[in-house]
Amino acid sequence: MVEEPDCEPEGRKDGDSKRTGGGHKDRATKEDTKIWKDGVRKMTENAKKINVKILRSKPWGGKKPKYETYKVPLEGKSSILNVLTYIAENLDPTLGFYSSCRIGKCAGCQVVANGKVKLACVTIVEGDLTLEPLRKFKVVKDLVVERKDKK
């Protein structure tokens, strides 16, 4: 039987990992975020409020997509995914968005944020935000797109 080497760097406790590499200043690290047990950032009433404008659509309803704006408290460093989860849990439970790995590997949470394609799970929100689904893909609902075939 071969013994597996311990892959943790010296001086670091188990599970105390820090994201490194690439100089991504807009990405969250475990040290940057205070996460509740369910993964949602604690956002208090005293926190700075930002406007989050989301292009909402239900293709099966026959209505044209329209923007809805939400006021979201923002405390410290929160990712776009934290903001979307806050909206879904506290303001509008009908909001459709996708998340899976929460660490930037699967790219399932990609959205267009302020005109640029970003990963919602690792992109830090610094101010007002406009979110749209990925372009050139069929929209399933709100920010969820069908990635198998392009329009």
pLDDT tens digits for range 105-117: 888 999 999 999 9
What's residue 20's pLDDT?
37
**Which two tokens mark 128?**
């007002």
Question: Does the pLDDT of residue 89 top 80, yes or no?
Answer: yes
- Measure Cα distances from 102 to 40, 70, 106, 110, 112 in Å: 11, 23, 8, 11, 17
Which residue, among 116, 118, 88, 91, has the nearest Cα to 28 in the 3D structure?
A: 118
Domain boundaries, the chain: 48-150
What's residue 77's pLDDT?
86
Question: Does the pLDDT of residue 31 top 50, yes or no?
Answer: no
What's residue 42's pLDDT?
52
44-82 pLDDT, tens digit per residue, is 556 789 999 999 998 777 789 999 999 999 878 899 999
CATH node for 48-150 = 3.10.20.30
The reported pTM is 0.69
What's residue 103's pLDDT?
86
